[in-house]
Chain A
Amino acid sequence: MGVPRLPHLLGIEGLAPEAISGLLDLSESYIDQNRSIDKRRDLLSGRTVINLFFENSTRTRTSFEVAAKRLGADVINMDVATSSVRKGETLLDTAMTLNAMRPDSIVVRHSESGAVNLLSQKVNCAVINAGDGQHEHPTQALLDALTIRRRRGSLQGLLVAICGDIMHSRVARSNIHLLQIMGARVRVVGPPTLMPTDIEKMGVEVHYSMKTGLKDVDIVMMLRLQTERMQGLFVPSISEYFHFFGLDHEKLRFAKPDALIMHPGPMNRGVEIDSEVADDLDRSVIHEQVEMGVAVRMACLEALIGGRRNALAGAAA
């Protein structure tokens, strides 16, 4: 009982607006630091962060690693492919083994929904969900929110379209929660086969056409289509998908003239997004999202294992 149970960041659902604002404010404070020559602070000096990725993700893992190192923490990347996880050790055995090494935080990505919640019940350090199955990816939603807030000042009253494979997307679910908590309106756009049952009960508007779905929106969020498990099962072909649901300049015309284009990456150019749109510096904020990702993850680490923990106060409710 000696080690106090720290709060985790398992998802956006249930977070108070104040907690989200607090995290975004904290993130802001790191943007300048990240842009300066001297990027490192020793706020988390002496703390240990383990990146435990059961699913490959170079981008997210690197982002967490950079964030932790810039705050002075020691970072260990668990290479699951060569670890005992492959030898039949269960998720919880792995969790408890790592926990016994007394890390201050474990950042977890797993291919099963709920796996990170399960793991968090068995460790007494702060767990950050870096994406669990089709459930949540809270730091992605936070970095998206930070990107939008810096461009638009506030999320309140914005109309956001999330487009593509909603069914299999944890990014969509975390964003649906966060955007609505912060007062934005959300549409989901995609073919019916990629819409989860009763998604409208999460408060969103459902559209099966980009024309109606993008009409007058402030933000267009594109999702990655996992092409390997789609073709013939959920959509007839990649070319048909791109024709009806891929974002190009023609479909973008339905949105507001200054609408921002976002994508969590990695992009499938020519599948869900046209290269011209993705690389349009006036509209696309895709690289800014990556930059904000580091700041947001620094803020989350600080909120969970730094001295200032009030950013997540109220998160437990």
Chain B
Amino acid sequence: MKGNVDPSAPQHSGSTAYINARIIDPVGDSDYRGAVLISDGKIADYGPNLFASGAPYGIQSVDCRGLYLAPGLVDTRVHTGEPGEEHKETLASAGAAAAVGGITSLVLLPDNEPPFDDASLIEFVARRARQVKLANMYAYGALTVGLEGKELAEIGLLAEAGAVAFTDADHAVGNAQVMRRALYYAKAFDALIVHLPQEPTLSTGTMTSGETATRLGLSGNPPLAEVMMVERDIRLAEMTGGRLHLAKISTAEAVAAIAAAKARGLRITCDTAAPYFALNDLAVGDYRTFGKLVPPLRAEKDRMAVVEGLKSGTIDAIVSDHRPQDQDSKRVPFAQAEPGGIGLETLLPISLELVHNGHLTLPRLFQLLSSTPARLFGLPGGRLAKGAPADLVVFDADYAWMVDRDELCSKTKNTPFDERPVQGRVMATIVGGRTIYRDDSFTTTAQAA
């Protein structure tokens, strides 16, 4: 179960055909047996009839032997330690983890040291990403200076430098006036504002309120702190007409409030992160700090509501919410532990549970993982289309394995999914036509032209 991440994978000047694949087309909402032809880093052709009569002659071909081929994952919520905390994660180590996870585009949160509230940092990330040569890496700009929720960051200049959206990461903007002005101002640039909805004065605890917190003697965050902020933000978005995307929805009440806003025709979108549909607050168990997240893991009824929100389309996207933390940050009493879990390598297998459990079809899942986040953030990947970037993932949906934190590529091992049996494994990750990751068992039958 070993593979090879290869940043120096060449881009062939000619064409490559991926044949005998089960193709997942999220935008077309279909899956079928077929082939994809890649030329010059772009998708040149695809479909059920392409090369139906056998491998093409004269160009390199890769036999997928019935494995799934889908647009690579677009993960819009990733934190690394670069710059500032390179001992936790660098863009290179995060890129390797993303490659193993089938993620071909990722958007970096701005809460580094220094925070991305200056255009030079957006340019720094872009430059480093070109050197790392793995997934496409984009960056959020800070919504407010220093992520402090007080003064607007230079949204226009940050956008010009390449910031794809604006957020204060895991800091909620508690001041309604600041949020209102941010939504208004961002309209000038048609900028997307991503907000983590948690009423800050009610969110000072260390896990979700309830029986588990009470038993463990830990201070709680009431789940209603989320819907209170969701409802405020919905009103502000309605008032301003700004583009609002709510992040990491974790409670039943918030899912219902967003569903109602969408039913009223408001242009609001939202995502959730894998832990919120795969785990509940019992994962904190005996003070497991790997289960300490923002927002906190919720009760089982909330987890089920998140699954329903994914099924109904109320929730538009799934993110990894990758946040590396080293041992010094996690091997301390629960209340003192830093929150966050890594998630790049487990995003696909954990999300596939939704398919294996009959909640979603594969094309629907890849809408959540690839095409919709790409569309919301204005990114070029995430879909099958002629002329689109050849950002693809080949995976075995049934391959059974167990998450072992020591086997993960991230520099830190703080996964909330440690020792979880999962199904589904990436066999190859292709970015711009280059195969940056290949599982050892996926030996291609490539033929030279």
Q: Which residues of A contact B442 (CB under 8 A)?
A: none
Q: A13-B215, A136-B217, A202-B215 are in contact. Are A114 and B333 (CB under 8 A)?
A: yes
B46 at the interface (CB under 8 A from A): no
> Shortest Cβ distance from A52 into chain B, in angstroms?
14
Measured in the bound complex, the distance between the Cα atoms of B210 and A199 in whole Å is 8
A98 at the interface (CB under 8 A from B): no
Q: Would you give the 0/1 interface string for B384-413, flagging 1 where the beta carbon is closer than 8 Å to chain A?
A: 000000000000000000000000000000
Structural contact, B209 and A198, CB atoms closer than 8 A: yes
B332 at the interface (CB under 8 A from A): yes
Q: A197-B220, A197-B222 are in contact. Are A202 and B287 (CB under 8 A)?
A: no
Measured in the bound complex, the distance between the Cα atoms of B448 and A67 in whole Å is 81
Structural contact, A135 and B335, CB atoms closer than 8 A: no
Measured in the bound complex, the distance between the Cα atoms of B218 and A236 in whole Å is 24
Which residues of chain A in 120-138 are interfacial with respect to chain B, using CB atoms and an 8 Å cutoff?
132-136
Structural contact, B214 and A202, CB atoms closer than 8 A: yes
Structural contact, B214 and A196, CB atoms closer than 8 A: yes
Q: A173-B215, A198-B214, A202-B211 are in contact. Are A113 and B220 (CB under 8 A)?
A: no
A313 at the interface (CB under 8 A from B): no
Structural contact, A90 and B332, CB atoms closer than 8 A: yes
> Shortest Cβ distance from B328 into chain A, in angstroms?
7
Q: Which residues of A contact B333 (CB under 8 A)?
A: 91, 110, 112-115, 118, 133
A34 at the interface (CB under 8 A from B): no
B213 at the interface (CB under 8 A from A): yes
A170 at the interface (CB under 8 A from B): yes
A201 at the interface (CB under 8 A from B): yes
Q: Would you give the 0/1 interface string for A134-164, flagging 1 where the beta carbon is closer than 8 Å to chain B?
A: 1110000000000000000000000000000
> Shortest Cβ distance from A218 into chain B, in angstroms?
25
Q: A112-B336, A134-B217, A198-B210 are in contact. Are A92 and B287 (CB under 8 A)?
A: no
Q: How large is the interface on B (under 10, 10 to 19, 20 to 34, 35 or more residues)?
A: 20 to 34
Structural contact, A112 and B209, CB atoms closer than 8 A: no
Q: How large is the interface on A (under 10, 10 to 19, 20 to 34, 35 or more residues)?
A: 20 to 34
Which residues of chain B in 189-240 are interfacial with respect to chain A, using CB atoms and an 8 Å cutoff?
209-211, 213-220, 222
- Contact of B213 (CB < 8 Å), options: A13, A115, A196: A196
B331 at the interface (CB under 8 A from A): yes
Q: Which residues of B contact A173 (CB under 8 A)?
A: 214-215, 217
Residue in B215, B328, B336 with the greatest tally of chain A CB atoms within 10 Å:
B215
Structural contact, B334 and A112, CB atoms closer than 8 A: yes
Measured in the bound complex, the distance between the Cα atoms of B333 and A135 in whole Å is 12
Measured in the bound complex, the distance between the Cα atoms of B211 and A91 in whole Å is 27
Structural contact, A90 and B328, CB atoms closer than 8 A: yes
Measured in the bound complex, the distance between the Cα atoms of B205 and A113 in whole Å is 13
> Shortest Cβ distance from A90 into chain B, in angstroms?
7
Q: A90-B328, A113-B218, A114-B287 are in contact. Are A197 and B336 (CB under 8 A)?
A: no
- Contact of B216 (CB < 8 Å), options: A91, A135, A199, A201: A135
Measured in the bound complex, the distance between the Cα atoms of B286 and A136 in whole Å is 13
Q: How many A-B residue pairs have CB under 8 A?
A: 71
Structural contact, B214 and A114, CB atoms closer than 8 A: no
Measured in the bound complex, the distance between the Cα atoms of B328 and A197 in whole Å is 30
Structural contact, B211 and A113, CB atoms closer than 8 A: no
A117 at the interface (CB under 8 A from B): yes
> Shortest Cβ distance from B347 into chain A, in angstroms?
29
Structural contact, A197 and B209, CB atoms closer than 8 A: yes
Measured in the bound complex, the distance between the Cα atoms of B336 and A177 in whole Å is 26
Q: Which residues of A contact B220 (CB under 8 A)?
A: 196-197
Q: Which residues of A contact B213 (CB under 8 A)?
A: 196-197
Identity of the chain A residue whose Cβ is nearest the Cβ of B214 in the assembled complex: A196
Measured in the bound complex, the distance between the Cα atoms of B218 and A285 in whole Å is 31
Q: Which residues of B contact A13 (CB under 8 A)?
A: 215
Identity of the chain B residue whose Cβ is nearest the Cβ of A92 in the assembled complex: B331
Identity of the chain B residue whose Cβ is nearest the Cβ of A54 in the assembled complex: B333
- Contact of A113 (CB < 8 Å), options: B217, B328, B332: B217
Measured in the bound complex, the distance between the Cα atoms of B213 and A105 in whole Å is 29
Structural contact, A113 and B222, CB atoms closer than 8 A: no
- Contact of B217 (CB < 8 Å), options: A90, A91, A133, A198: A133
> Shortest Cβ distance from A141 into chain B, in angstroms?
14
Measured in the bound complex, the distance between the Cα atoms of B88 and A275 in whole Å is 56
Measured in the bound complex, the distance between the Cα atoms of B218 and A134 in whole Å is 7
Measured in the bound complex, the distance between the Cα atoms of B336 and A113 in whole Å is 10
Measured in the bound complex, the distance between the Cα atoms of B327 and A118 in whole Å is 13
Q: Which residues of A contact B211 (CB under 8 A)?
A: 197-198, 201-202
Measured in the bound complex, the distance between the Cα atoms of B354 and A84 in whole Å is 49
Measured in the bound complex, the distance between the Cα atoms of B219 and A201 in whole Å is 17
> Shortest Cβ distance from A233 into chain B, in angstroms?
12
Identity of the chain A residue whose Cβ is nearest the Cβ of B220 in the assembled complex: A197
Q: Which residues of B contact A114 (CB under 8 A)?
A: 216-218, 286-287, 333-335
Identity of the chain B residue whose Cβ is nearest the Cβ of A113 in the assembled complex: B217
> Shortest Cβ distance from A168 into chain B, in angstroms?
9
Measured in the bound complex, the distance between the Cα atoms of B331 and A149 in whole Å is 40
Q: Which residues of B contact A134 (CB under 8 A)?
A: 217-219
Q: Which residues of A contact B218 (CB under 8 A)?
A: 113-114, 133-135
Structural contact, B331 and A118, CB atoms closer than 8 A: yes
Identity of the chain B residue whose Cβ is nearest the Cβ of A170 in the assembled complex: B217
Measured in the bound complex, the distance between the Cα atoms of B333 and A134 in whole Å is 12
Measured in the bound complex, the distance between the Cα atoms of B335 and A132 in whole Å is 12
Which residues of chain A in 51-102 are interfacial with respect to chain B, using CB atoms and an 8 Å cutoff?
90-92
Q: Which residues of A contact B216 (CB under 8 A)?
A: 113-114, 135
Measured in the bound complex, the distance between the Cα atoms of B376 and A253 in whole Å is 67
Identity of the chain B residue whose Cβ is nearest the Cβ of A172 in the assembled complex: B217
Measured in the bound complex, the distance between the Cα atoms of B217 and A136 in whole Å is 8
Structural contact, B334 and A113, CB atoms closer than 8 A: yes
Measured in the bound complex, the distance between the Cα atoms of B211 and A117 in whole Å is 19
Measured in the bound complex, the distance between the Cα atoms of B328 and A199 in whole Å is 33
Q: Which residues of B contact A198 (CB under 8 A)?
A: 209-211, 214
Listed by A's residue number, 27 A-B pairs whose Cβ atoms lie within 8 Å are A90-B332, A110-B333, A112-B333, A112-B335, A112-B336, A113-B218, A113-B334, A113-B335, A114-B216, A114-B286, A114-B335, A115-B333, A118-B287, A118-B333, A132-B217, A134-B219, A170-B217, A196-B213, A197-B213, A197-B214, A197-B220, A198-B211, A198-B214, A199-B214, A202-B211, A202-B214, A202-B215
B: which residues have CB within 8 A of A?
A: 209-211, 213-220, 222, 286-287, 328, 331-336
**Sample of 4 more A-B contacts, CB < 8 Å, known A134-B218, A197-B209, A197-B213:** A13-B215, A117-B286, A118-B333, A196-B220
Top 5 closest pairs, chain A to chain B, by CB? A114-B287, A135-B217, A112-B333, A134-B217, A113-B217
A: which residues have CB within 8 A of B?
A: 13, 90-92, 110, 112-115, 117-118, 132-136, 170, 173, 196-199, 201-202
